[in-house]
Structure 1
Amino acid sequence: MRTPLVAGTAMTLALLAQPALGQTTETQATQTQTSETGETFGLNAIIVTAQRRAETLQDAAIAINAASGDQLVQNGVADATQLNTVAPALYVAAGGGANTGYFIRGVGNFANNGYTSPAVAFNIDGVYIGRPSSTVASFLDVNRVEVLKGPQGTLYGRNATGGAINVIPNAPQLGVSEGSVSAQYGNYDAYELTGMVNAPLGNDVALRLAGTVNERDGYFSDGTGSAKDLALRGQIYAELSPAINLRVSADYSTQKGTGPGLNVEGVYTFTPFNPGATVRNWLHVEAPDNVRAPYTGLFTPEALDFIENTATAAPLFAPLTGYAYPRRDDEYWGLNAEVNVDLGGVDLVVIPAYRHSKLDNQFNGPPFKAAINSDTAEQYSLEARLSGTSGPVEWLLGGYWFDETVKGVNSFNQFSTTTFNSFDTHTRSLAAFGRVTWSLTDTLRLVGGLRYSDEKRDIVAQADSLAAICLTELPSGQPSCPNLPTVPVGLTLRDSLAQYAPGLFPAGSPLDAPAPYGAFPFGPFGPMGPTALLAITPTVIDRAASDREVTWRAAVEFDASPDNLVYASFETGFRAGGFNITFGQEEYAPEFIDAWTLGSKNSFFNNSLQLNLEAFYWKYRGQQLAALGLDDNGNNAFYTRNVGKSSVKGVEMDFQWLAGPTTLVHGGAQYLDATYDSFQYNQIDLSDEGDPPYFLTPITGCGYTQVSEPVRSFDIDCSGKPALYAPKWSFNLGVQQKLELDPLDITFALDGRYRANRVIGFAYLPTGDSGADFKMDASIRFEPTEIPVTVMLFVRNLTDQAVQSTYQLGAGNVASSAYEPPRTYGLRVGYTF
């Protein structure tokens, strides 16, 4: 469906994607046709480069959503967490601190810390980002965002099993002097100031600078959920000769505030053999309304009192008090370049890049007393591609090099237990790839792609596990040490131990021992001995591993007419294995995915209607999932497991209809059946030797079997369960209406999105589903015809839906949820010059 592109911007296109302030013309072209009455009529066509070549979105024979920079501004997309407004198949779950989970059609993982990798590849300006924890600078002066669905096993860098997100900024323009400023203010005392300038530096060089600062109060009544962000980007573009051009880019960003907030939903309390338990042996005690009401927060007096009076954390069994308030102080910067060389019928593209991130954040999610991350990551990468055409064959060859080092010190304080991690990881990935498109006829093409990946990685790490163990036995029930303090919050073991009063260690502090490991009497001595013990156990990990894999793609494309494209493809994906800082689960294996896709992209009625259809079937094996659990020593840990296999199948439809010269209707629907065919893992049994069978059972909604070999544990089986973040049905529908009232144009926009219930918690608890939700956004945009000013009034989440984005159990089995933003509204004013 390779229709010609006609330059210019028709009046009717303003409804679909009005050019962003300073937007380059690469984003959009106009596919226009002339009706029988002579009227120019047609929908806008976004230009994408997802297949490493420029083509319209309608001509890209792949599963992809794309949005222009202006669409992102109108939808309020300032970072990746809000991208599901333009890509319904994508879910981005903001975790504690800088941890963010990406899922496409149920394929993804919960967090991307210093030693895990995302299943959805995040690319900024053509550069794969190994630690996609900050996306603020990514969405500054954006040209477009592309969301690719399904494995990207040939053209893309590491680990794109679920898909890829490409964020492409506006590039400098030669010979153009322009700029823009905008200011936005809304509820939660939220403000944003953004500016951009494009300036020629002679005939062959151009400079582009952009910056933004935004700040808001917390969405939660305890003040959490606040943000204070800064982002800057500078670019220089130069045409060094008729055959060579160079673009160099540098960006810097910071994220401060509290980060995401948490809502307390309830507590799972141990009630052995209670027939009325929510799950076997565990009763969910729902928090009162003034605690669990959406956007209340963990730090309200009512929530803290509820936890203190309802929950205790084993093995100390002391009141849960002293939650540390969250904070963020994270910094990111990077340098990258793009060199394009015309070698005479062959094009060479070289993309070198360097990125640096420094994390310093403290958070509570899931409800820990405190989790602290202090990580530094450095990444070098280089990609080179040659492409050309030889007769009916269009070809591309490339190579990729990625080298990353992450050093970090983390602690995860769960009151009675705390894990202190220090680690140094190094990953080196090499790949060679190629793709060939062979035009058998003017309308029929065969596509083949191949990629060879070679990854080596190593880790040197130590985990110090501290457990405060109550020895005071009561006549009935669990032990209790209400007068002993829980573990103080500190980044390192010594930081926490130094905060204990010396008198708590009648036989000497661990700090006075030659090495602070072993079991130390803790608290006053009683008739039977010490009240409690402080047990400190080190786990040392020094490992190296490697993976080599060939992934490939085969496809056929057929232009049924100049306006109708049909395609079918098969593609494989691979995500390398990795390491965990935990005993008995030190490594996990690679995961693999196979994807079949049948699609059709169509334009009808002089390109006034675009209708796209896709059917997909994915087979996933060796699936990696990262979540909280118990290691083989019974210590709490966050680690990745290979849990089994899943099948993902469904259909998706999206459309755009230019109902009149000034009326646009757009929408889509997805049916998704994502099921775990095999989802099994093992968890240690912490019950005592004399306890009856199935006594201290796992807190899970899955089935399980108690086993004694190789150690006493539970084999947990979640097979048959739906995949995480995989609603059965998703719908979206929107309308934009423009009124041309001289001397003022007014555009009204209304968008609605429905998502069916989905699982948002790893444990499949009956209380851990999101429920269905329907959200609406509305805006009114005023544009005077005589002056370059835009004024927009907006309301997002008009229905004020409280939508849970995660559900997790933390210390003391306190259940909590993170939420998508509540209703927000405001005024945005922009000026171009």
Structure 2
Amino acid sequence: MKGFMLGSASVLAIFAVPAHAQGAPSDATQNGSGPQAEIPQTVVGHEGELEEIIVTAQRTEQSAQKAPIAIAVVRPEELIRQNVTRAEDLSRVVPALVATASGGANTSFFVRGVGNTTTNSYSDPAISFNYDGVYIGRPNSTQGFFYDLQRIEVLKGPQGTLYGRNATGGAINVLPNRPELGVTSGEVQASYGNYNAIQAQGALNLPIGGSGAFRLAGAINRHDGYLSDGTSDQKEYALRAQVLADLTPALTTRIGVDYAHQGGRGTGSYLYGTYAYAPATGFVFTPTPQFGPKVGVHDPRTEAFVQNIFVSQVGRTSEATGTLPSQNNAVWGITNETNWTTGAGTLTVQAAYRQSDINALSTTSNFRGAYADEHTDQATLEARFAGKAGPVDYLVGAFLFDEDIDAANSINQIVTVPFQTYKTGTNSKAVFGRLALHATDALTLTAAGRYTDDSKYMSGLSNVFTLNCGNPFAPPQDLCPTLPLVPLVRTPAELIAFYTSRGILVGNNGVNPAPVLNTPRVLNTQIPIDATLETKKFTYRLAADLQLTPSNLLYASYETGFHAGGFSFGKGVETYKPESIRAFTVGSKNRFFGNRVQLNIEGFYWKYKDQQVSQFGTDFSTPPISVFYTTNIGSSTIKGVDVDLDARVTPTTRIGGSVQYLDTSYDTFIFNVTTAAPTPPNYACPAPIVGGFYRVDCSGKQALFSPKWSFNANIEQTIKLDGFRLVAQGGTRWRGDFYAATTYQPWVISKAAFQSDASLTLAPDSDGWFVTAFVNNIEDKRRITQSNVNGTLSTQSAIATAPRTYGIRIGGRFK
């Protein structure tokens, strides 16, 4: 399949030109926010006016202000100012987006309260991530792209017609700068800051004759750990090379290759409380203020605290985890995009192959370690033909996606460890089309549709070992004070050898030793999966937009989307169904006062069916096992309003801001939990026993990661000097409270906070160099981005935002 895709692209390259336009310097370059490389296809404008940002979100070039869709565009200078070097950093610049590191290389995305926290390789993300026009299937392969960029587009709402894999919540498009014909240019910038932060990126563009160009870009990002145990550090580097050739006036082809490596310890967490259950009081939480967001879970102080926690399952106090996370991850890819312009339209063909090797040990849940060893091969092929016939613009296309994953993972929870070995993959085929009828000079009616045929498979085994002391959940309490807890080993054979050499009985193949008072034993449960899922779905979009004046647009749309089902390693929860969405949107995009004030307003109303939620819980094994699984919870409603303002108050003063109001509700959120567990489920939701199960009912709860209010505000002031300019920038962002875990306990709320930044840049009018002093998160407020429960220790840990960072950045360019 992969050979066919890449081979087809090579053949089509002979026949089939990118719609690349003449580049223009960004408005920020012309008017004072520091030199940047020219950004083809991105911005044009005049001094004192707001620039026009050109986007390709609808697979055609158009001004963002004339695109009748919900989209946020992030310019490269904003990425640099906000120190966006990783996928989770995007939360700083887009109010509608919540992105959080989930351990290892994984990133979870939520747009307007829709997303998923799954970080395993047998489920698909609800927010699609696309790099250079290529869909990235794995959330652990979204790093290493954030340098030498044209822009980032964040599309809000279902992407059920024009994009490679259907996504119910939205799409993130990361678009690198492309080679420029006839241009010799280069740029470099580097910074140094606290936590020994070293960041550098650069690019070189060279002409190849009169009809070709070569561009080479790279980046290095390093800093020490933000936590006391050295975790939440960064050690990454990336490289990208591209060749562009105009083979004929109508035929252009581009080949790009990229590589990124991620090392260091990776994301860390801190312990912020413990909880306990008693029949009379229910769950009670006890904060641990001595462990703030600077004290990692592997700090000696935290380890000493944990060793005093009695674990009834093994009849002894806990022990130090004795581990530190690590990662050694590499991703690379190659893509070929070829465009052939004819009298009837333009044929675009893009083929890509991507590979990732993930080798990471994550400990963000205060576990001994979750180990991932995954190899992924992914190939995509997309062909589109776009043209115009009279008053109708049309686009038709086809898409192929083929992914295969070979993995060996384990999650050591000190008393329980599943060893998961599996092969899984997806083959997806789709055809799509879009028609836009220009009914009048001002009114356009649009209809788009996509038919998708997804086939997913999974074949593997979760070999689960659970350590017990006697019969731990029946009185009297069994005691095994010298019993060694589950060691950090990679295979079942190593675990079995560890305990049998100590005279401890170990079950095998589901045959387990009987309980004996005060006697340790290791239970074994095997959960095999050999399953396939088939989904055939038609999704569509209907829209109308009215260009009231050249600067004022009204639009409305109705669209549908779906997110494929998947698999989980748990008895009774092995598979889950696709989720679907219906979305209504109305909006207005406006420019006033001679292109100096921009005001965009949008309202949205989304209805979900069979919505997927991922969470830790107990499965229906005997005895039940703690598993991370995905289930269809029912239905939900999401509605809200976005308002964006951008204004050139004077030729040297610019202000802007974004506000989002979000009202979310899980209309139906009901699931069953086994009553064989030692305590009721840890949820702030009613959980009566019905039919032999706890019937947990969280209906009416707010969606995860969905603050009711969010806003950004920024100001930029340019002071003109003799041959130079001084640019002062400042901004703040505020996110309201949101739930960071599905338990809905009050202690998993991420509290509202302001986080502000400022910078001061000196640059000559020639834009040949710049020097910037910057500070981010001035308040040093580290709010929770993800909360993790450790059911073994009854502890609650969290991942937090970065602390206050500051430093000096210098850069220059030539052309």
Same fold (TM over 0.5): yes
The Cα shift of 1:684 comes to 1.2
* 2:784 pairs with 1:769: no
CA–CA distance in structure 1, aligned partners of residues 681 and 488 of structure 2: 27
Match of 1:205 among 187, 208, 212: 212
Secondary structure of the structure 2 residue equivalent to 1:333: strand
Q: State the percentage of identical aligned residues.
A: 38
Contact 2:313–2:472 under 8 Å retained in 1: no
Partner of 1:444: 443
Contact 1:646–1:675 under 8 Å retained in 2: yes
The Cα shift of 1:565 comes to 0.2
CA–CA distance in structure 2, aligned partners of residues 474 and 569 of structure 1: 56
The Cα shift of 1:137 comes to 2.6
The Cα shift of 1:318 comes to 4.4
Partner of 2:512: 519
The Cα shift of 1:785 comes to 3.0
Contact 1:152–1:160 under 8 Å retained in 2: yes
The Cα shift of 1:205 comes to 1.0
Secondary structure of the structure 2 residue equivalent to 1:77: coil
* 2:198 pairs with 1:183: no
Cα 1:687–1:116, aligned 2, differ >3 Å: closer, same or farther?
Answer: closer
Partner of 1:284: 285
Q: How does 1:641-720 map to 2 (within 5 A)?
A: 641-687=631-677, 696-707=679-690, 709=691, 712-720=692-700
Amino acid corresponding to residue 640 of structure 2 in structure 1: G
Secondary structure of the structure 2 residue equivalent to 1:309: coil
The Cα shift of 1:138 comes to 1.6
CA–CA distance in structure 1, aligned partners of residues 696 and 32 of structure 2: 49
The Cα shift of 1:113 comes to 1.7
Cα 1:477–1:305, aligned 2, differ >3 Å: closer, same or farther?
Answer: farther
Contact 2:307–2:317 under 8 Å retained in 1: no
Secondary structure of the structure 2 residue equivalent to 1:504: coil
Q: Deviations over 1:63-93 (max 9, x none)?
A: 0000111221111111211112221100001
Partner of 1:602: 590
Partner of 1:591: 579
* 2:793 pairs with 1:812: yes
Contact 1:472–1:480 under 8 Å retained in 2: no
CA–CA distance in structure 2, aligned partners of residues 640 and 741 of structure 1: 59
Q: Which moved more, 1:631-640 or 1:347-356?
A: 631-640
Partner of 1:363: 362
Cα 1:12–1:701, aligned 2, differ >3 Å: closer, same or farther?
Answer: closer
Amino acid corresponding to residue 338 of structure 1 in structure 2: E
Partner of 1:537: 525
Q: Provide the aligned length of Structure 1 versus Structure 2.
A: 791
Contact 1:147–1:166 under 8 Å retained in 2: yes
Q: Deviations over 1:120-159 (max 9, x none)?
A: 0000000110013233332121110000000011101213
The Cα shift of 1:831 comes to 1.6
Cα 1:369–1:565, aligned 2, differ >3 Å: closer, same or farther?
Answer: same
Amino acid corresponding to residue 225 of structure 1 in structure 2: S
Partner of 1:423: 422
Match of 1:170 among 177, 195, 200: 177
TM-score, length basis structure 2: 0.94
Q: Deviations over 1:481-533 (max 9, x none)?
A: 2210111112221233334471333x6x67xxxx66532589xxxxx667121
The Cα shift of 1:18 comes to 5.7
Cα 1:396–1:530, aligned 2, differ >3 Å: closer, same or farther?
Answer: same
CA–CA distance in structure 2, aligned partners of residues 714 and 433 of structure 1: 44
Partner of 1:107: 114
Partner of 2:804: 823
* Structure 2 residue ranges without an equivalent (≥5): 1-20
Contact 1:399–1:431 under 8 Å retained in 2: yes
Secondary structure of the structure 2 residue equivalent to 1:484: coil
CA–CA distance in structure 2, aligned partners of residues 475 and 686 of structure 1: 11
The Cα shift of 1:459 comes to 0.8
Partner of 1:566: 554
The Cα shift of 1:465 comes to 0.9
CA–CA distance in structure 1, aligned partners of residues 174 and 609 of structure 2: 29
The Cα shift of 1:24 comes to 2.8
Amino acid corresponding to residue 604 of structure 1 in structure 2: F
Match of 2:274 among 245, 267, 274: 267
Q: Deviations over 1:413-456 (max 9, x none)?
A: 11111111111012100000000110010000100000000001
* 2:381 pairs with 1:382: yes
Secondary structure of the structure 2 residue equivalent to 1:498: helix
CA–CA distance in structure 1, aligned partners of residues 528 and 131 of structure 2: 35
Secondary structure of the structure 1 residue equivalent to 2:139: coil
For the aligned residue pairs, the C-alpha RMSD in angstroms reads 2.0
Secondary structure of the structure 2 residue equivalent to 1:592: strand
The Cα shift of 1:316 comes to 5.4
Secondary structure of the structure 1 residue equivalent to 2:94: coil
Partner of 2:536: 548
Partner of 2:38: 23
Contact 2:349–2:383 under 8 Å retained in 1: yes
Q: Deviations over 1:726-777 (max 9, x none)?
A: 1111122110001110122111000111111111111111111011111101
Secondary structure of the structure 2 residue equivalent to 1:305: helix
Partner of 1:36: none
Cα 1:562–1:371, aligned 2, differ >3 Å: closer, same or farther?
Answer: same
Partner of 1:614: 602
Secondary structure of the structure 2 residue equivalent to 1:223: coil
Amino acid corresponding to residue 376 of structure 1 in structure 2: H
Cα 1:70–1:473, aligned 2, differ >3 Å: closer, same or farther?
Answer: closer
Partner of 2:11: none
The Cα shift of 1:681 comes to 1.1
Contact 1:377–1:405 under 8 Å retained in 2: yes
Q: Deviations over 1:598-647 (max 9, x none)?
A: 00000000010000000000001101112211111111111111111110
Partner of 1:234: 241
* 2:253 pairs with 1:252: no
CA–CA distance in structure 1, aligned partners of residues 450 and 267 of structure 2: 38
Cα 1:739–1:826, aligned 2, differ >3 Å: closer, same or farther?
Answer: same
Contact 1:663–1:736 under 8 Å retained in 2: yes
The Cα shift of 1:578 comes to 1.0
Match of 1:803 among 772, 780, 783: 783
Partner of 1:94: 101
Contact 2:772–2:809 under 8 Å retained in 1: yes
Partner of 1:731: 711
Amino acid corresponding to residue 535 of structure 1 in structure 2: L
Amino acid corresponding to residue 670 of structure 2 in structure 1: Q
Partner of 2:49: 42
Match of 1:53 among 49, 54, 60: 60
* Structure 1 residue ranges without an equivalent (≥5): 33-39, 523-527, 689-695
The Cα shift of 1:812 comes to 1.8
Contact 1:611–1:656 under 8 Å retained in 2: yes
The Cα shift of 1:60 comes to 0.9
Cα 1:534–1:501, aligned 2, differ >3 Å: closer, same or farther?
Answer: closer
The Cα shift of 1:261 comes to 0.9
Cα 1:683–1:265, aligned 2, differ >3 Å: closer, same or farther?
Answer: same
Contact 1:452–1:551 under 8 Å retained in 2: yes
Q: Deviations over 1:701-743 (max 9, x none)?
A: 1111112x3xx32111110100011111112211000111012
TM-score, length basis structure 1: 0.92
Partner of 1:35: none
Q: Deviations over 1:682-705 (max 9, x none)?
A: 1112257xxxxxxx2111111111
Amino acid corresponding to residue 396 of structure 1 in structure 2: L
Secondary structure of the structure 1 residue equivalent to 2:519: strand
Q: Which moved more, 1:610-619 or 1:470-479?
A: 470-479
Contact 1:331–1:357 under 8 Å retained in 2: yes
Contact 2:434–2:449 under 8 Å retained in 1: yes
Q: Deviations over 1:24-77 (max 9, x none)?
A: 3321111x5xxxxxxx64111111100011111111110000011122111111
Partner of 2:5: none
Contact 2:111–2:170 under 8 Å retained in 1: yes
